[in-house]
Structure 1
Amino acid sequence: MSRPGSMRYDPPVDRLRPDTILGIDLGTTNSCGAVVMPGGQVKIVPQRSGDGIVPSVFAIDEKGHELVGHEAKRQWQLNPRNTLYATKRLIGRSPHDEVVAGVQRSVAFRVVPGPGEEVALACQGQRFQVQEVSARILAKIRDVASDFLGFRVARAVVTVPAYFTDRQRQAVKAAGRLIGLEVVRIINEPTAAALAYGIGRRLRERVLVFDLGGGTFDVSIIEIRDRVFEVKATGGDIFLGGLDFDDAIVGQVLERFRAEHGLDLTQDPVAMQRIRDLAERSKIDLSSRSEVPFSIPFVTMTDDGRPVSLEQRLGRRELERLTFPLVERALRMVERVMRDAGLAPHDVDEVLLVGGQTRMPLIQRMLGDWFGRPPSKGVHPDEAVAIGAALYAWSLQDDSDLKLQLLDVIPMAIGIEAAGGAMRTVLPRNAPIPNAKAIPATSSLDGQRELSVRIYQGDHPEAVRNDLLGEFTFGGVRPSPAGQVRLEILFEVSVEGILTVSARDLDTGKQMRTTVRVTES
C-alpha cells in the first residue's frame, strides 16, 4: 500500500478547484486531512516535513506563543500543565460528567467548569472551551492543506466516532464555524473506513469495522453493495482507546517504582509526562518485540537532592496481562453489536482493523479466535478514515460522478424523561437515519402557555443516567384546561445524526416557538 494515500478513483477532473472539499479525520491523539487529487489518487495532505499526521495537541509556551501539532508535542514533557491533549474525549460534555472526572485523573492540565454547562480547559492562565481547541487543530489541518493545494480551503467533511451524541456532533460543527470552515457533512469514522475499503472494488460484502484509536472505540457492521454502504448496527465506547492501554502501563511502572524507592511520582507532572511518553513508545515496540527496557535517567530527586533513575523492563506478556480487561471490554461491545444485527461470526465476510491500537498482537489474535480467521489488512489503520472522508467529500462536489449512498444508524436511543424518571424512547438505538418520529403531548396545567421537554440520548432505562441533550421549551401553547390541548412533538435526525425538535398544535396547525437550553442533568 502506497503512502501517503492508499486509494484510487477515476473522477473526470483535470485540476482541483478552490471549492474542493477536504476530508478531515479529527482524532483524539492524531489528526490528518486527505483530498482526491487530479487523476484520482486519494492523498493524505502532507506538511512541509512530508508528514501527513498532525498530533491533536495544543499548547501555550512560556512566551505566550500558541503551538499546535508537532510543535506542541515537542515541548510537552517540559510544559505538561499547559499542553492540552486528548481533548476530543471532553467535547460536548458537562463538568459533572463522570467521563470528565476520569480524564482529569489522567492528564496534567486542569479541566474546569465553562460556560453553558460545558467544560473548559486551563492553559497559561487562560480558559479555552473544548471546541476552541478542536478549532485550532482543524485550522492547522486546513492551513496545511491550503499550503499544499495552493488555495484556501473553506469546506470540509469531518469524521467523528459513531458513538458521538448529538451534542458532541453539534460541538464539532461549532468548532468549524469558529475558524470559518464550513463543515458540510459529518460522517462516522467506521463508515469512512468502509468507504476507503470498498470504493472502486464493486463489492458485495458484509464487513465489521473494529476501530480502536487513541481515545475512542467504535464497532460497526456495514453491508457494502458497490456504492451503497448500509450500517446494520453500531456501538462503541468513547472512553476506551490507546490512552487507556498507556495508563495501564503507567500504573504498573509507578507501583514498582514506589515499592523499590519509596517515592511517589504522581505529583511530579514532568516525571509523569516522561513516563507516559515512554509507555506509549514501549507499547508500540512490543507489537514487534517480546521485551523492551523501560528506563528514564534522573526521573526525580530525593528529599536530600540525590537523583533517582527509573530502571525497569516490560514484556509483551506482561502488557497483555495488564490490558486484557480493556480488550475484553472491546470484544463485549463486538458481541453486543453482532447481537443487535442478528448475526453470527460466520455471517461477516471481513473484519477491518482501524486505529493505531489495533496493531497490538493480542487484539488481532482475540479477534481472529472469535471470528475463526485473521482480520483483514485491507485498509491502512492510520489513514483509512481520512481517505474515506476525502472520497465522501469528492462525492458531494458538483463535478463529481461518484454517487454514494450512505445508510447509517442512530448509535444510542433518543428519548424524553417520563413520569418517575424513566427514559421514554422515541428513536431506538440502531434506528436508520435520516429519521423522524412524532409523539403526542398535551398541557398538564390549566392555562399553561409553555411546554418543556427534557431530551436525553443513551440506552440506560433511567433518563438521568443518559446524556442530556437539552431542555426544549415550546412557547405559544393555547391557554386551555389541562389535557385539552392536542400537541405533537416532532423529532428529526439528519443524515449526520444531528437532532432537531419542533412542536405544533394539532387543532390549529400552528408551529410553536422553540428555545433550547442545555443544562446539567
Structure 2
Amino acid sequence: MSEPATIGIDLGTTYSVAAIVENNRPRVISDTGGGYTIPSIVAVDDKGNRLVGQAAKRQVLINPIHTIYGVKRLIGRDIQSPVVRKIQDHFKYRITSDEHADVLIKIREEPYGLEEISAIILDHVRNLAQDSLGREVARAVVTVPAYFNDRQRQAVRDAGKIAQIDVLRIINEPTAAALAYGFGKALHQKLAVYDFGGGTFDVSILEVRDNVFEVLATGGDTFLGGVDFDNRLAELMIHRFQKEHGIDLFKDPICHQRIKDACEQAKIDLSSRPETRVHIPFITMGPSGALNIDYTVKREEFEQLCEDLIGNTLVACRQVMADAKLKSEDLDAVLLVGGSTRIPLVARKVADFFGKAPSKGIHPDEAVALGAAIMADSLARKGEGEIQLLDVLPMTIGIKAAGGKMVPIFPRNSPYPNQKLKVFTTSKDQQQSLKLTILQGDKATAAENEIIGDFTFSGIHPAAKGQAKVETVFTLNHEGILTVAARDPDTGAARESVLQIQAAGHKPIHPDLIALKKPMEKKAGETVISATVTREVKLKAGTAPPPGPETAKAPEKTPPPPQPQPPKPVRPAKESALAGLVSRLKRLFQRG
C-alpha cells in the first residue's frame, strides 16, 4: 500500500486549492474532471443532502439561505464583531450565536460552528486529492491570511482537527506565495507580495536567502477582497433597477443571489473587455408581467465604483514599506497573488506604487497552494535543504491594564517563534489568583482591540498587596499561536495554557461530522468525478457505483444504454424554409 501523502492546502474565502510535491516538483492537484479550484461552499438541500464544492455552488441560486460561503471572513470572531454585523447585510444565510457569543450558522435549523463548516471544506479538498492521487492523504500544511489574529489561526487549526487532518503547520498566504516563487532558485532578493484574494487582502515584505524566507513586515485587511467588488457592482444593478421599476431586489434572497452571481461574472469579463452586459431574465414580476435586468457596464464605470477599495490596499502597502524601512528601489520583485489582481486597475495601481512592473513568475491562483505543498514536503522530509520560515506578527499582542489601556507584550511585526517573560504582582492584600485578558490589535485602548482569550492563574501564596510575584512567560510558536505559562516562584505552583478562541475547549456541535473515506478506486474505462461529499460516479453501462455509507443507492438494474433514434422527419414548413434559404445562397454565389 502506498505511503500516505502530505499536501498543501490553500483554504480560500471563495475557492480552495490543493498541491503536492512529487519528485521535487510542486504541482496543483486537479480532480478527475481537470479542475483545480474548489469552491469553498457548503450547502444542505431540501432533502437533507450535504453538498460541498462545485455541487454546492451549482444550486446556490435556488437555495441561497442554506448555502454557506465566505466563512473565512467570520471564523474566529464573536457575534458582536462589527465585521459580523456588516456581513449579515450581504450574506443571506442565517448567522446566530451560542451562549459564549461565538458565531454559529444555521442550516435547515441545525446550528454549525464555523470550524465545522471549514472542516467540511478541508475534508472535501482532502477527498478530491485522495481520489486524484490514488492514495490516502493524512497530513497537510494549511495557509491563512497573514493578517489573521491568534483566535482566527487557532480556529483554522481546530477545523483541521475536526476534519481529522494532521495539520503540520499553518503558514501565511503571502509567505507561501514567496516560497512558490523562490523554490529551487537559490535567490537572494527582497520581495513584496501583494495578495488580493476573494475575501482578504495581505501584503508582506520578505527577504529571501536561499532556503531562508524572512518576513520583514506584514499588513492587510481580513475584510477586503473580490467579493467587495461584486457587492459594489450588485448594488449598482439593484439601484438602477429600483430607479427604473420602483422595486427593491435587495430584500429577496434569490434575486439578490442571482444578481451577485451575474456581477461576479461581469467583473471577470471586464478584466478582458472594455464593457460587458449584465443580463438576468425574469428577475421578478412587475405590474405588467416579468421584468429583466439588462444593463451595460463599462470598465471605466466599474473602476470608479471600486477605486477606493484598491486605494485601501495601497495604504497598507505604504505602512509595511515603512515598517520594513525600505524604499521601492530596494525591492527586487513584486508578486501579484489572488484572483482580484487580474483586475487591470489593480495591476496598474500596484505597478505605479512600487515603481516596477509586477513579476509574471507565479500563477495568482496556484502560488499559495504550491508554497504550502513545498513547506509540507520540507516538514515531511526533515532532511537536507529544509526550508526555514521566519514570519512576523501582523498585530500587537498585549494585555488589558488598569484604566482600560492595552500594554503591549509583542509589538506588531515581532518575529516568531518568540518568547517574553513578564513579572506581575498582586493589586490586593491576600490575593490568590491573577486574571490576564489577552488582546490583539494596534489600538491604545483595550476595548478597541480583539480579545483573544483570558488566562487565570490560581495558587498565589497569600501576601500583602504588591508582595507576591507571578512570573509569566508568553510564547509565540512557529504558527504565531500564543501560549501563556505562569508560576509563583515562592510556591512553585505553575500553569500553562494555549490561548484558544473565546470558546476555548468547547467540543464540536457534531462529533461525527466527518466520516473518513479511502481513496476511490478507478476501474478501466470509468471516469470518477468527486463533486460532493456524496460522491457522483459516471460509469459505463452495466457497472454499479462503488459501495459506501455515503454513496447514493443504485437501482437494482442498470437501464440499458439508449438506442440510436431515427432522425425526425422535417416538417414541411421547415423544409420549405430550408429550400428557400438554399435557393437564396445559390443566387448570391452566382452573382459573385
Bin of the TM-score, shorter chain as denominator length? over 0.9
Aligned equivalents of 1:414 and 1:124: distance in 2? 39
Give the superposition deviation at 1:17. Answer: 5.4
Q: Is the 8 A contact 1:227 1:403 kept in 2?
A: yes
Q: Give the equivalent residue in structure 2 for 1:69.
A: 53
Whole-Å separation in 1 of the counterparts to 2:439 and 2:276: 47
Paired letter, 2:353: W
Residue 451 of structure 1 pairs with residue 434 of structure 2: yes
Question: Does structure 1 conserve the Cα–Cα contact (< 8 Å) formed by 2:88 and 2:95?
Answer: yes
Is the alpha carbon distance of 1:106 and 1:395 closer, same or farther for their aligned partners in structure 2, counting shifts above 3 Å?
same
| 2:453 maps to 1:482 | no
Do 1:21 and 1:155's aligned partners in 2 also have CA atoms closer than 8 Å?
A: yes
Contact 2:189–2:208, Cα closer than 8 Å, also in 1: yes
- 1:117 Cα deviation from its structure 2 partner: 2.6
How far off its partner does 1:211 sit?
Answer: 0.2
Question: CA–CA distance in 2 between the matches of 1:490 and 1:314?
Answer: 57
Aligned residues of 2:201 and 2:222 also touching (Cα < 8 A): yes
2:488 to 491, 505, 509: 505
Which residue number corresponds to residue 365 of structure 1?
348
Matched, 1:31 2:20: no
Equivalence map 1:220-259=2 (5 Å)? 220-259=204-243
Q: What is the aligned partner in structure 1 of residue 255 from structure 2?
A: 271
Match of 1:172, as an amino acid?
V
In structure 2, what is the equivalent of residue 339 of structure 1? 322
Q: How does 1:71-150 map to 2 (within 5 A)?
A: 71-114=55-98, 116-150=100-134
CA distance 1:52–1:346, change in 2 (3 Å): same
SS at 1:386's partner residue? helix
* TM-score computed with the length of structure 1 as normaliser: 0.94
Matched, 1:467 2:468: no
SS at match of 2:403: helix
Structure 1 residues 160 and 516: alpha-carbon distance in aligned structure 2, compared to 1, 3 A threshold: closer
- Structure 2 spans left out of the alignment, 5+ residues: 504-592
CA contact (8 A) 1:394 1:402 kept: no
Aligned length: 503
Task: Measure, in 1, the Cα distance between the counterparts of 2:95 and 2:334.
Answer: 37
Please give the secondary structure, in 2, of the residue aligned with 1:127: strand
| C-alpha separation in 1, matches of 2:424 and 2:25 | 53
What's the counterpart of residue 10 of structure 1? none
Cα RMSD of the aligned pairs, angstroms, is 1.5
Pair 1:21 & 2:12 matched? no
Give the Cα–Cα distance (whole angstroms) in 2 for the partners of residues 184 and 397 of structure 1: 9
Amino acid paired to 1:112: T
Deviates more, 1:44-53 or 1:313-322: 44-53
Residue 507 of structure 1: how far off its partner (Å): 3.4
Structure 1 residues 19 and 34, CA gap change in structure 2 (3 angstroms): same
CA distances 1:36-81 after superposition (whole Å, capped 9, x unpaired): 12x3331211112111111000000010000000000000001000
> How many angstroms apart in 1 are the aligned matches of 2:207 and 2:497?
38
Task: Please name the residue that 1:8 is paired with.
Answer: none
Partner amino acid for 1:143?
N
Q: Please state how far the C-alpha of 1:477 moved relative to its aligned partner.
A: 1.1
Aligned partners of 1:128, 1:114: CA distance in 2, in Å?
10
Normalising to structure 2: TM-score of the pair? 0.83
1:416 and 2:399 correspond:
yes
Secondary structure of residue in 2 paired with 1:452? strand
Letter in 2 for 1:210: Y
Shift of the alpha carbon at 1:151? 2.2
Amino acid at match of 1:93: R
CA contact (8 A) 2:484 2:496 kept: no
Name the CA shift for 1:258/1:403 in 2 (closer, same or farther; >3 Å).
Answer: same
AA paired with 2:197? G
Unaligned runs of 5+ in 1: 1-15
Structure 1 residue runs of 4+, over 3 Å off?
A: 398-402, 507-510, 512-520
The answer to whether the 8 Å contact 2:484/2:499 transfers is no
Equivalent in the alignment of 2:190: 206
CA distance in structure 2 between the aligned counterparts of 1:514 and 1:250, rounded to whole angstroms: 46
Larger Rg: 2
> Deviation at 1:20?
2.9
- Counterpart amino acid of residue 21 in structure 1: T
1:7 is aligned to none
- Give the aligned residue type for 2:277: P
1:519, distance to aligned residue in structure 2 (A):
5.1
* Structure 1 residue 115 displacement after superposition: 5.1
State the 1:110 CA deviation: 1.3
Letter in 2 for 1:54: I
Tell me if the contact between 2:155 and 2:501 (Cα under 8 Å) persists in the aligned partners.
no
CA contact under 8 A between 1:476 and 1:512: conserved in structure 2?
Answer: no
